[in-house]
Amino acid sequence: MKEFKQFDIVSDYSDHYFASLNLSFFGKKKDCFTNANSVVLKKIMQEWKILKNSLPETIYVRAYEERMDLLRAVIVGAAGTPYHDGLFFFDFAFPPGYPNSPPKAYYHSHGYHLNPNLYSDGKVCLSLLNT
């Protein structure tokens, strides 16, 4: 059986919820995700390094080499909870103002409403995300 890497960088982002959105999604098109001198790009690269080295064993993250503004996380439900072995998929889109502006988040619910902060339409309701 093939092992999944906890942090992986891949090229195909076509199934990401925010894949069809271009960088102007947040109201202004910027090169902040491609310019090597960009504060946003540098911050994302720092966070990739942290994620690569210190994820809890039940969290998996996929980053996209061609779309640094996108990220996917999968959380495996903790043992001894009602969420035991459940898979919770989240897609994130980082705005040009990141880290001063929160990312957009989408929860892949597959039609289930399992948590009061996670809606079946994909909305994630957390103060951290300004939602």
Q: Which of 37, 25, 22, 33 is nearest to 68 (CA)?
A: 33
Q: Is 125 a catalytic residue?
A: yes
Catalytic residue among 10, 87, 125, 126: 125
* Active site members: 125
